[in-house]
Structure 1
């Protein structure tokens, strides 16, 4: 059984200003297995973030269904952790308190909160920064706090919406390597939204290439290149050429349709 089963998802929005319906996603189906690292790759506006939000339970499909662990997704749940493009931390809380915030909402005592948070603070490489505030950290460090907060919920699935898009190239590379190491260690399922071909191929063991709006799955393939991945290797560049060819074909089809 798939860890995440996406079945014939259609999502439409109403443009009230222009009095028309806009189809964001059109009959999207995917099976995502346990411990898969799936990258949703596509151009801006193709609906990949909308699809991620529906897996998270933040939005409902217009038709179709999504199941996680065999259970229909109807609302957000603790089985799905979410990491956004911006870490959305609370600036008045320290790193430790941001990571453990949902435990405080559940009434867990301070000593236990700190102990449980520390494990994930160490895991994302922020040992020694427990008492710092978000304004005192770099963008990459704040994103690590967001990842630690999601991990602390012990979810089956982690959903990530272009979390490294705002980082400089060196920090992004470090964060990608760190994320792969965490994924290999905790053996969760990750769905990662990106518009970068290189990022998808560095991270994913499965790649879903989406079309322009309305978003469909153009191709969905395994990428089992050994890690750490050498982006200068023939195998990596062969895969990159394959993906770029799909993107060019899609762009050509879009121009003809227009």
Structure 2
């Protein structure tokens, strides 16, 4: 659905309190094809979330540019859905109302909103919870609402910033399986920030390993592993050893001051 091109992206933040500039990203060049599931992996502070925010249009690069299907990214847009670490749902709205909220803003009729929301409620496995409020749901269920809310606008790209980081191990595993199933049905492009090597290997078609700050690209790895991924297979563990060695290498390098 979407080709993403990240060309010469650098990002410098001004640290006013210390009177200096902080170089967060340096000359990032990447291209993602339609239906890629790309995992950004690297040490804390390497600029993964900043890069995601630049693709989303929330941040502007200091240098370089991002295009999605040939269109320059200058601001957030309906072609890019975003799922945050916390789903940031509106607590006074039900599941169905949260999912359909953007349609409401566009003036779409209530009956149409309800029908379209129901399709995505079915997709993320929340049947029977349409009238529940966020406080009545588990963390994993709220994250499903966040994913459905991003999908309902039919974006070409889904950008996900560690959406499962706060979940327990069992729920995280279930959500990873569900996300892969949704991606296979939706046929969109996903860019997913994670700190977990296992998560990247379970989810991705490609892994982008970044260096310590300023974030650069250490290696882009194409994953040709059967799905569902068998975490005990020799191929999976061979790839895991390779990625862990890269992470160990970049983690041993000092970050820029």
TM-score w.r.t. structure 1 length? 0.97
> How far 1:37 sits from its partner (Å)?
0.2
Match of 2:174 in 1: 174
Aligned residues: 257
> Where does residue 108 of structure 1 map in the other structure?
108
In the alignment, which residue of structure 1 is the partner of 2:40?
40
Contact 2:81 2:159 in 1 (8 A): yes
The aligned counterpart of 2:80 is 80
Kindly provide the CA deviation profile for residues 57-115 of structure 1, in whole angstroms up to 9, marking residues without a partner as x: 00000000000011000000000000000000000000000000000000111111000
Task: Give the distance between the partners of 2:169 and 2:156, measured in 1 at CA.
Answer: 29
Distance across 2 between alignment mates of 1:254 and 1:200: 24
Residue in structure 1 matched with residue 244 of structure 2 by the alignment: 244
After superposition, the C-alpha distances for 1:215-244 in whole angstroms (9 at most, x for unaligned) are: 011000100100000111111110110011
**Whole-angstrom CA distance in 1 between matches of 2:224 and 2:150:** 26
Q: Distance in 1 between matches of 2:40 and 2:252?
A: 21
- Which residue is equivalent to 2:253? 253
Whether the aligned pair in 1 keeps the contact of 2:162 and 2:192 (CA below 8 Å) is yes
The separation in 2 between residues aligned to 1:40 and 1:230, in whole angstroms, is 21
1:18-37 equivalences under 5 Å are 18-37=18-37
Equivalent runs, 1:1-258 vs 2, <5 Å: 3-254=3-254
Which runs of 5 or more structure 1 residues have no equivalent in the other structure? Answer: none
Q: Determine the C-alpha separation between the residues in 1 that align with 2:75 and 2:17.
A: 29
Q: Which stretch of structure 1 is more off in the superposition, 244-253 or 56-65?
A: 244-253
Q: Secondary structure of 2:115's match?
A: helix
Give 1:147 deviation, angstroms: 0.3
- 1:196 is displaced (CA, Å) by 0.3
Whether the 8 Å CA contact 1:2–1:31 is kept in 2: the answer is: no
Deviations 1:144-202 (A, max 9, x none): 00000000000000000000000000000000000000111110000000010000000
CA distance in 1, matches of 2:246, 2:165: 22
In 1: Cα distance, 2:241 partner to 2:178 partner: 26
Distance 2:91 2:41 in 1: 32
CA distance in 1 between partners of 2:177 and 2:222 (Å):
19
Query: What RMSD, in angstroms, separates the aligned Cα atoms of the two structures?
Result: 1.4
Deviations 1:122-148 (A, max 9, x none): 000000000000000000000000000
Per-residue CA deviations over 1:27-53 (Å, capped at 9, x if unaligned) read: 111000000000000111110000000
1:89, 1:9 → 2: CA distance?
31
How far apart, in 2, do the equivalents of 1:17 and 1:26 lie? 23
| Structure 2: runs of 5 or more not aligned | none
Q: How far apart are 1:253 and its partner, in Å?
A: 3.2
Displacement of 1:2 in angstroms is: 7.2
Shift of 1:252: 2.9
| SS of aligned partner of 1:54 | helix
Deviating beyond 6 angstroms after TM superposition, the runs of 4 or more aligned structure 1 residues are none
